[in-house]
Structure 1
Amino acid sequence: MNKRIIYPLVFILTLIVQSCDNYLDLKPEDGTVREEFWQTKEDVQAAVIGVYSSLLNNPPSERGLTLAEHLFMYGELRGGMVSPGPFAQDDQRDVLTTNILPSNSIANWSVFYRIINYCNTVIDLAPDVLEIDPTFTETQLNSYLSEVLAIRAYLYFTLARTFKDVPLKLEATLSDKQNFQIPASSQEEIFAQVIEDLQRAERLGVEEYATMPENKGRITKAAIQAMQTDVYLWTENYNEALTAANKVINSGKFDLVSSRTQWFNTVYAEGNSSESIFEFQYTPQNLNPFYSIFLQRPQYLAAPTVLEQVFGVDFDDPENKDIRGERASLVPGTNEIYKFTGLNRDVRKNLQESDTHWFVYRYADVLLMKAEALNELNRGAEALEIVSEIREAREAIQQTEEQLGPENKSGIRLYILAERARELAFEGKRWFDVLRNARKENYANIDILIGIALRSAPANQQQIITAKLQDPNSHYLPISENELITNKALVQNPFYK
Structure 2
Amino acid sequence: MITKNIKHNLAVLAMGCGVVFSTTSCNDFLDVLPLNDVVLENYWTKESDVTSVLMGCYESMQSGDCVTRMGLWGEVRSDNIRMGNSSAQDLEQMLKENILPTNGYCNWTAFYQTINRCNILIHYAPEVQELDPNYTVSEMKANIAEATFLRSLSYFYLIRTFRDVPFTREPSIDDTKEYRIPADSFNVVLNNLIVDMEAVKDDVPMYFRKPNPDREETSERNNTARVTRPAMYALLADLYLWQGNWAKCVECCDYVISFKQEEFEKLLKRRLQNDVQLFNDIPLYLEKIGSMSGNAYNQIFGQGNSFESIFEITYDTKNSTTNSYVGSFYTHLNNNDPTSGNLVAIDEFYEGLPTTDTELFNKKDCRAYECITERGKAYWIAKYSSQSTDLDNTKTNWKPSYSWRAENYANWIVYRLTDVMLMKAEALIEQGSDKYEDAFTLINAVNRRAVNSLVPGSGEVLKFDDFKNTLEDMRNLVMEERHRELMFEGKRWFDLVRMARRTGNTRELAKTVTKKQYANISGIQIRLTDPNALYMPYSRSELKVNPYLKQNPAYNTGGDADLEKN
Bin the TM-score by the shorter chain: 0.7 to 0.9
Secondary structure of the 2:402 match is: coil
Deviations 1:292-318 (A, max 9, x none): 332257111111222259xx7443999
- Alignment root-mean-square deviation, CA: 2.7
Letter of the 2:356 partner, please give it.
Answer: F
Which structure is higher in RCO with an 8 Å CA cutoff and minimum separation 6? 1
Question: In 1, Cα distance between the equivalents of 2:475 and 2:189?
Answer: 26
Q: Higher strand proportion, which one?
A: 2
Paired residues in the alignment total 465
Tell me, yes or no, if the aligned pair for 1:34 and 1:125 is still in contact at 8 Å: no
Give % identity: 30
* CA separation of 1:24 and 1:462: change in aligned 2, threshold 3 A: farther
Tell me, yes or no, if the aligned pair for 1:162 and 1:477 is still in contact at 8 Å: yes
Question: In 2, Cα distance between the equivalents of 1:230 and 1:390?
Answer: 18
Which residue of structure 2 lines up, in the alignment, with residue 268 of structure 1?
Answer: 301
Equivalent in 549, 555, 558 of residue 490 of structure 1: 549
Which residue of structure 1 lines up, in the alignment, with residue 84 of structure 2?
Answer: 85
Which residue of structure 1 lines up, in the alignment, with residue 495 of structure 2?
Answer: 433
Which residue of structure 1 lines up, in the alignment, with residue 428 of structure 2?
Answer: 374
Letter of the 1:207 partner, please give it.
Answer: M
Tell me, yes or no, if the aligned pair for 2:287 and 2:297 is still in contact at 8 Å: no
Tell me, yes or no, if the aligned pair for 1:434 and 1:449 is still in contact at 8 Å: yes
Post-superposition offset of 1:264: 1.4
The answer on 1:395 being equivalent to 2:451 is yes
Post-superposition offset of 1:30: 11
* CA separation of 1:430 and 1:26: change in aligned 2, threshold 3 A: farther
Post-superposition offset of 1:372: 0.4
Question: In 1, Cα distance between the equivalents of 2:227 and 2:159?
Answer: 21
TM-score, with length taken from structure 2: 0.77
Which residue of structure 1 lines up, in the alignment, with residue 169 of structure 2?
Answer: 170
In the alignment, structure 1 segments of 5+ residues that lack a partner are 1-16, 58-64
Post-superposition offset of 1:158: 1.0
Question: In 2, Cα distance between the equivalents of 1:153 and 1:78?
Answer: 23
The answer on 1:450 being equivalent to 2:474 is no
Tell me, yes or no, if the aligned pair for 1:291 and 1:340 is still in contact at 8 Å: no
Question: In 2, Cα distance between the equivalents of 1:25 and 1:70?
Answer: 27
Tell me, yes or no, if the aligned pair for 1:380 and 1:408 is still in contact at 8 Å: no
Tell me, yes or no, if the aligned pair for 2:246 and 2:427 is still in contact at 8 Å: yes
Which residue of structure 2 lines up, in the alignment, with residue 70 of structure 1?
Answer: 69
In the alignment, structure 2 segments of 5+ residues that lack a partner are 1-15, 18-25, 211-218, 265-282, 335-339, 390-400, 454-458, 557-566
Question: In 1, Cα distance between the equivalents of 2:109 and 2:424?
Answer: 33
Which residue of structure 2 lines up, in the alignment, with residue 101 of structure 1?
Answer: 100
Which residue of structure 2 lines up, in the alignment, with residue 278 of structure 1?
Answer: 311
Which residue of structure 2 lines up, in the alignment, with residue 154 of structure 1?
Answer: 153
The answer on 1:40 being equivalent to 2:49 is no
Question: In 1, Cα distance between the equivalents of 2:422 and 2:249?
Answer: 11
Post-superposition offset of 1:450: 1.3
Post-superposition offset of 1:33: 6.1
Letter of the 1:393 partner, please give it.
Answer: R
Deviations 1:174-220 (A, max 9, x none): 14553131110011111011101111220322212115444111111
Equivalent in 220, 237, 246 of residue 254 of structure 2: 246
Secondary structure of the 2:207 match is: coil
The answer on 1:347 being equivalent to 2:402 is yes
Q: Higher helix proportion, which one?
A: 1
* CA separation of 1:151 and 1:447: change in aligned 2, threshold 3 A: same
Question: In 2, Cα distance between the equivalents of 1:36 and 1:106?
Answer: 38
* CA separation of 1:35 and 1:413: change in aligned 2, threshold 3 A: same
Secondary structure of the 1:452 match is: helix
Tell me, yes or no, if the aligned pair for 1:30 and 1:175 is still in contact at 8 Å: no
Question: In 2, Cα distance between the equivalents of 1:31 and 1:204?
Answer: 35
The answer on 1:293 being equivalent to 2:355 is no
Secondary structure of the 1:166 match is: coil
Which residue of structure 2 lines up, in the alignment, with residue 7 of structure 1?
Answer: none
* CA separation of 1:414 and 1:405: change in aligned 2, threshold 3 A: closer
Which residue of structure 1 lines up, in the alignment, with residue 374 of structure 2?
Answer: 332
Secondary structure of the 1:359 match is: strand
Equivalent in 280, 299, 322 of residue 365 of structure 2: 322
Letter of the 1:457 partner, please give it.
Answer: Q
Question: In 2, Cα distance between the equivalents of 1:24 and 1:380?
Answer: 52
Post-superposition offset of 1:23: 6.0
Q: Which moved more, 1:282-291 or 1:204-213?
A: 204-213
Post-superposition offset of 1:37: 2.3
Tell me, yes or no, if the aligned pair for 2:145 and 2:201 is still in contact at 8 Å: yes
Equivalent in 223, 226, 229 of residue 221 of structure 1: 229
Equivalent in 413, 427, 444 of residue 359 of structure 1: 413
Letter of the 2:380 partner, please give it.
Answer: E
Tell me, yes or no, if the aligned pair for 2:467 and 2:477 is still in contact at 8 Å: no
Tell me, yes or no, if the aligned pair for 1:268 and 1:339 is still in contact at 8 Å: yes
Deviations 1:34-55 (A, max 9, x none): 3232111011111111111112
Equivalent in 350, 354, 357 of residue 307 of structure 1: 350
Deviations 1:227-264 (A, max 9, x none): 11111111111111111111111122473111423211
* CA separation of 1:217 and 1:414: change in aligned 2, threshold 3 A: same
Tell me, yes or no, if the aligned pair for 1:474 and 1:495 is still in contact at 8 Å: yes
Tell me, yes or no, if the aligned pair for 1:101 and 1:496 is still in contact at 8 Å: yes
Post-superposition offset of 1:95: 1.0
Question: In 2, Cα distance between the equivalents of 1:33 and 1:322?
Answer: 59
Question: In 1, Cα distance between the equivalents of 2:402 and 2:532?
Answer: 43
Q: Which moved more, 1:343-352 or 1:365-374?
A: 343-352
Secondary structure of the 2:99 match is: coil
Letter of the 1:440 partner, please give it.
Answer: R
Post-superposition offset of 1:329: 0.8
* CA separation of 1:405 and 1:452: change in aligned 2, threshold 3 A: closer
Post-superposition offset of 1:24: 5.3
Equivalent in 434, 442, 445 of residue 386 of structure 1: 442
* CA separation of 1:376 and 1:26: change in aligned 2, threshold 3 A: farther
Equivalent in 534, 539, 554 of residue 475 of structure 1: 534
Letter of the 1:36 partner, please give it.
Answer: N
Question: In 2, Cα distance between the equivalents of 1:79 and 1:30?
Answer: 49
Post-superposition offset of 1:362: 0.6
Tell me, yes or no, if the aligned pair for 1:278 and 1:361 is still in contact at 8 Å: yes
Letter of the 1:330 partner, please give it.
Answer: I
Deviations 1:295-354 (A, max 9, x none): 257111111222259xx744399995311111x1111243111111112122333434x2
Deviations 1:82-122 (A, max 9, x none): 01111241111111111111111111000000000000010
The answer on 1:128 being equivalent to 2:127 is yes
Letter of the 2:328 partner, please give it.
Answer: S
Which residue of structure 1 lines up, in the alignment, with residue 561 of structure 2?
Answer: none
Letter of the 1:305 partner, please give it.
Answer: E
Letter of the 1:292 partner, please give it.
Answer: S
The 5-angstrom pairing of residues 201-216 of structure 1 reads 201-210=200-209, 212=219, 213-216=221-224
* CA separation of 1:88 and 1:241: change in aligned 2, threshold 3 A: farther
The structure whose Rg is larger is 2
Tell me, yes or no, if the aligned pair for 1:437 and 1:448 is still in contact at 8 Å: no
Secondary structure of the 1:217 match is: coil
Question: In 2, Cα distance between the equivalents of 1:25 and 1:331?
Answer: 45
